[in-house]
Chains A and B, each alone.
Chain A
Amino acid sequence: MLTSIIFLPSAGAFLLVLAGKNPKICRFIALFIVIMELILALALFVSFDRSATGFSFIERLTWVAPFNIQYLLAVDGLSVSLVLLNAILGVTAVLISWTVAERVREYFILLLLLQTAVMGVFISMDLFLFFVFWELELIPMYFLIARWGSGRKEYSAMKVLLFTLIGSAFMFVSIIALYFSQPVGDRTFDMIALAQSDLGGVVSSAGIISTGFLIAFAVKLPIFPFHTWLPDAHTDAPTAISVMLAGVLLKMGGYGLIRINSGIFPDQLSEFAPFLAIAAVINVIYGAFIVMRQTDIKRLIAYSSVSHMGFVVLGLSSFGGAVTSTAAINGAALQLFSHGIITALLFVCAGLIYERTHTRYIPDMGGLITKMPLIGIPFIIAGLASLGLPSTSGFVAEILIFLGAYGAYPLATAVCAFGVVLAAGYMLWVIQRTLFGPSLERWKDLKDANAPGIWAMVVLLIPILLIGVYPRILLDVFENSILRIAMGLT
């Protein structure tokens, strides 16, 4: 089951290699594969036992025996939700790429490989395997931005690559150091076993080791001041890749923080908690103020990601604070999912608008809603969800984080809550500037969304509203897993 989830997209990529260069056939093969992948992910989501506290669907094979490296796949609720997120965004990414015209086959091959790698990150429970997928994701990413992007695409692609590589270099050292810090004979990369053993208490250098992980994830999430790659990459990437970047690649950082830093090193994470709270405040507030002054619509959405990822950090900072609260971590996990979907929708709308107007410069737009209601309305919904309007998924995630974090860091939480006000400010303002106002003469010939574009938005609108109205559908899945992780704290 899990193996097929990981490797179905790469099988699809292989099929594309054989399929020849006809762009139409390539598009349909890619679409077929990602829909199959979504069905698999939904099957996993439905069949996952919600009462389970541990891992299920375990697949375990020995890979490199002398170092006890295993091919170990397993999911808990946290993984299941992110697998589903990735599968949904995979469909969106293919649909929104329908209009990609050059080297279509190579484009979809890379896109499918990217999906394989990200799936691998969320499902691998062996640190070594996890790291392999973590690095693997970079290569398709690099080429997708550098080849099909716009603006300073090569610069941005190299920037994201180098930032992540340097960040993950520290993780690599930590992984090896963690292995050797265990007693001879019991050494393992098995994340499930590592989480169960009280490692932090035994290993003297656990603080340094966990810092290595923290750096890698902080770059990926990103946490201030490691965020500077993000706006460049998101802005210059093609729409589908902005969707994947904001939607799932950032989530890899959040996932790593929850899975490894709170799962394996709970005590060390709680020592970091005050710094995380400060970082969260900076992310939220600084990010929001930067958003305010953006005039490029994609850059604006990109910086709003920085701001919103601050909430995830805030949720984690409550870990091991005065009052340990699973609500905040549940909120953080939900925020990962919800922000993934919402930002993806924002990027989809921005991409569709750009495709029609050929500008990303906000002051050039205006009154677009009359010409393209089918793009405008989802954009409004996504914007409202992004600012945390009740009945959207964004609201549930943020309220949970604030509820949980208030006990630990009332001041930081209060300041971050102000970030929601700022979000309302910049989101409403951008909607007003782009969609409303007098319709401009130059936009009178614009067409509305095409069919693939509409479907891409529908795929995202469903979960936003569904979770907003009935959050338990997702919370049920990871609640027990989060509880297990939170119980790890001694």
Chain B
Amino acid sequence: MGLSILDIYLLAPEITMVAFSLLVIFAGLKWGNSSIPIYLFLLAAIVSFSLSVFLWMRVDAYGPEMFMNESLILDKYAIFFKCLILIAIALIVLVSKSPLDDFKYRAEFVGLAMLSLVGLMLLPSAADLITIFVAIELASLPIVALAAFATGIDKSSESGLKFLVLSAISSALLLYGFAFFYGAAGTLQVVALDDSTLTISSMLTSLDAGMPFGSVPILVATILSISGLGFKLSLVPFQMWTPDVYEGAPTSVGAMLSVASKAAGFALLLRILYTTLNHEVISGDWSLLLALIAAITMTVGNLVAITQKDLKRLLAYSAIAQAGYVLVGVASFSDFGNDQQLGSESVLFYLAGYAAMNVAAFAVVILTVHRKQTSQIISLEGLGISSPLLAGTLAVSLLALTGIPPSVGFMGKFFIFNAAISADLTWLVIIGVINSAISAYYYLNIIKIMYLREPTVTESQWRVGLAPSLILLLTSGATLFLGVFPKPLLNLVREAALSII
């Protein structure tokens, strides 16, 4: 037992983040109205990211390691997600710099975001069910406060309360599910590097092939866990809270939820399914279950998005639909030799690409909502003239979300559907591609409003600050670049994905 130096080193990115988050909150007492909290956060993000890169090299040399009494695992898969989440949240906070000026407690906002970030970074590393649960709580609870941060606005408080209730329900479901896993297997361990440690999957011996999920406890455990995670990932039919929370909460919070929380949630889902439930008797069952959820999620998300008038609500439904596409990749689990890694690797690729395009889209929305103080889609009229950069970025990201080449969205969808067809889920792919076509309607509608409508009030040119401009260029550039040259990212996700097989 006890904590060794190695444990601390392996956990250094998270420890840095925690230390800095406290520093940010304390600094806020004195310099709350300056930009110091944000700069501190930026510093923390850079340090934490560099440490993660060192750890990647270490794993590259020595292989994956378990630490902290085997409650955490450090493999390329975990580090990949840590970096992805870190970059996404750093970009979102940075682009929200001026919108954050509206808040009285700016430092606390940043500090809470950092704590949530720590939870999200721990999640892909968590190796047993208790750690998973703690990490989820750490990630969710700060969001409750953040969602309600716009003091004096009813919708924001409502959003915070909704998120709190939802978190409680989903955590309860999840915990109940975990209890059944423990009951069935007698252990909480999800991953282990050698056979000496018992894991849930090694204890699943007496499974009945004639029964869904092999046995009743596993059936209940899986359904409850997937329901719990379904709330977090806003999968249909657990999606009802999403649009309300996105609409009421500060836009940056919606962005974090839709990009970072989603990535961490899928990281967890994939890890549990591929390591714990990777059993020939039951893999077909959960694959089918997830395929069905994916089909409903895509369809409902896209169809409801069509009628939205509010930009934030629309992005919420778009996030639901996008989660459906990712879920297609998760469901594409196949045990046949060569194509085995296709599903997980496509999920990782899509999540990375989705981070780029959705951060780009949300960055624009954060800036426009702040400036216009309304999130009606119609308020974007004439944006193509008043700010070509913002309009261009949003157009690129929305086309990418639709899946139009050459963008990372197209490549990502191609990889996902590829995996699904290799896993014999052709029916799901047909639903998926038709959904993509439907989604063109509402995504293009926004672009149409930006470029084709004359603005009702003539607006002056709108200059965006240097840092937000760079972020807009970076994310939209990455969206296009990875669509034409997917190879670097593909190699990266392939390495990461191989470590959970």
- Listed in ascending order, the chain A residues whose CB lies under 8 Å from chain B are 64-67, 128, 131-132, 135-136, 138-139, 142-143, 146-147, 154, 158, 161-162, 165-166, 169-170, 172-173, 176-177, 179-180, 184
In the assembled complex, B204 has its CB within 8 A of some CB on chain A: no
Choose, from B33-41, B168-176, B398-406, the stretch at the interface.
Answer: B398-406
Contacts of B451 in A (CB 8 A): 143, 147
Q: Decide: B487 and A176 in contact? CB cutoff 8 A.
A: no
Q: Do A146 and B452 touch (CB < 8 A)?
A: yes
- Report Cα–Cα, A21/B433, bound state, in Å: 39
Q: Are B433 and A173 neighbours in the complex by a CB distance under 8 Å? A: yes
- Tell me the nearest residue of chain B to A177, going by C-beta: B421
| Most chain B beta carbons < 10 A, residue from A166, A176, A177 | A176
The residue that A64 contacts in the complex, of B338, B417, B422, B486, with Cβ under 8 A, is: B486
Identify 16 new A-B residue pairs, CB closer than 8 A, beyond the known A65-B487, A67-B418, A154-B448: A64-B486, A66-B490, A131-B405, A132-B410, A135-B410, A139-B404, A146-B448, A146-B452, A161-B440, A165-B437, A165-B440, A169-B430, A169-B437, A172-B433, A173-B426, A180-B422
The distance in angstroms between the C-alpha atoms of A147 and B422, with both chains bound, is 41
* B399: A residues at CB distance < 8 A: 139
The minimal Cβ–Cβ distance linking B477 to chain A, given in whole angstroms, is 15
Interface residues of B in 388-427 (CB under 8 A from A): 399, 404-406, 410-411, 414, 417-418, 421-422, 426
- Cα A139 to Cα B444 with chains together (Å): 10
Determine the distance from Cα of A165 to Cα of B404 in the docked complex, in whole angstroms.
10
Contact B440–A173 (Cβ < 8 Å): no
* Nearest chain A residue, comparing its CB with the CB of B385: A103
Asked if B261 CB lies within 8 Å of chain A CBs, one says: no
Residue among B418, B426, B437 with most chain A CB within 10 A: B437
B437 touches A179 (CB 8 A): no
Take A139-B399, A169-B437, A180-B422 as given contacts and tell me if A132 and B406 are in contact as well, using a CB distance cutoff of 8 Å.
yes
A169 close to B433 (CB less than 8 A): yes
Kindly list chain B residues whose C-beta atoms are within 8 Å of the C-beta of A166: 434, 437
Chain A positions within 8 Å of B433 at CB level: 169-170, 172-173
The residue in A64, A65, A173 that gathers the most chain B C-beta atoms within 10 A of its C-beta is A173
Bound-state CA distance A146–B411 (Å) is: 27
**CB pair B444 A136 closer than 8 Å:** no
Query: Are B444 and A177 neighbours in the complex by a CB distance under 8 Å?
Result: no
Say whether A179 contacts B418, CB under 8 Å. Answer: yes
Q: Report chain A residues within 8 Å CB of B421.
A: 173, 176-177, 180
**CB pair A158 B490 closer than 8 Å:** no
On whether A162 and B418 interact (CB within 8 A), knowing A66-B494, A132-B405, A136-B406, the answer reads: no
Shortest Cβ distance from A142 into B: residue: B444
Q: Are A147 and B452 in contact (CB under 8 A)?
A: yes
Q: How many residues of B contact A (CB 8 A)?
A: 30
Is the pair A158, B444 in contact by a Cβ cutoff of 8 Å?
yes
State in angstroms the CA–CA spacing of A26 and B410 once bound together. 32
**CB–CB B417/A173 < 8 A:** yes
Q: Least Cβ distance of B358 to chain A in Å?
A: 20
Tell me the dominant secondary structure on chain B's binding face: helix
Residue-wise, chain B 91-114 has the 8 Å CB interface mask toward A (1 for contact) of 000000000000000000000000
Cα distance, A147 to B450, chains bound together (Å): 12
**B441: which of A131, A136, A158, A180 is its contact (CB, 8 Å)?**
A158
Mark B224-248 against chain A: 1 for CB-CB distance below 8 A, else 0.
0000000000000000000000000
Q: Which residue of A lies closest to B341 (CB)?
A: A66
What is the distance, in angstroms, from A304's C-beta to the closest C-beta of chain B?
Answer: 29
B448 touches A136 (CB 8 A): no
What residues of A have a CB within 8 angstroms of the CB of B406 in the complex? 132, 136
* Across-interface contacts of B410 in A (CB, < 8 A): 132, 135
Cα separation A166 to B433 with both chains bound (whole Å): 8
25 contacts between A and B (CB under 8 A): A64-B411, A64-B487, A64-B490, A66-B494, A67-B418, A131-B405, A132-B410, A136-B404, A136-B405, A146-B448, A162-B440, A165-B437, A166-B434, A169-B433, A169-B436, A170-B433, A172-B414, A173-B429, A176-B418, A176-B421, A176-B429, A177-B421, A179-B418, A180-B418, A180-B422
Instruction: Please determine whether A135 and B417 come into contact, CB atoms closer than 8 angstroms.
Output: no
A154 to B444, CA, bound (A): 11
What residue in chain A is nearest B433 (Cβ atoms)?
A169
Given contact pairs A132-B405, A162-B437, A184 touches B422 in the complex (Cβ within 8 A): no
Bound-complex Cα distance A455 to B418 (A) = 48
CB distance from A148 to the nearest CB of B (A): 10
A132 to B409, CA, bound (A): 12
Closest to B484 in A: A63
Across the interface, name the chain A residue whose C-beta is closest to B429: A173
Lowest 8 CB-CB distances: which A-B pairs, in order?
Answer: A169-B433, A165-B437, A132-B405, A166-B437, A176-B421, A169-B437, A180-B422, A135-B405
| C-alpha gap A179/B422 in the complex (Å) | 9
Is the Cβ of A161 less than 8 Å from the Cβ of B444? yes
Q: With a CB–CB cut-off of 8 A, which chain A residues contact B448?
A: 146, 154
B487 with A154: CB separation less than 8 A: no
Q: Which residues of the other chain, A, contact B434 by a CB distance below 8 angstroms?
A: 166, 169
Task: Give Cα A180–Cα B441 distance, bound, in whole angstroms.
Answer: 30
Complex-state Cα separation, A138 to B440, whole angstroms: 11
Q: For residue A148, which residue of chain B has the nearest CB?
A: B452
Most chain B Cβ neighbours within 10 Å, of A65, A136, A172: A172
CA A139 to CA B404, docked complex, whole Å: 8
Distance in angstroms from B435 CB to nearest chain A CB is: 9
Whole-angstrom CA separation of A46 from B436 in the bound complex: 42
Q: A154-B448, A165-B437 are in contact. Are A172 and B404 (CB under 8 A)?
A: no
Shortest B440–chain A CB gap in Å is 5
A147 CA to B384 CA in the complex, in Å? 13
Instruction: Report the nearest A residue to B402, measured CB to CB.
Output: A165
- For A181, the closest partner residue in chain B by CB is B421
Most central of A128, A135, A170, A180 by chain B CB within 10 Å: A180
Q: Closest CB of chain B to A118's CB: distance in Å?
A: 14
> Which residues from B are CB-within-8-Å of A172?
414, 417, 433
Report Cα–Cα, A355/B494, bound state, in Å. Answer: 57
Least CB separation from B494: chain A residue: A66
Q: Collect the chain B residues with CB atoms within 8 Å of residue A136's CB.
A: 404-406
CB of A68 to closest CB in B, whole Å: 12
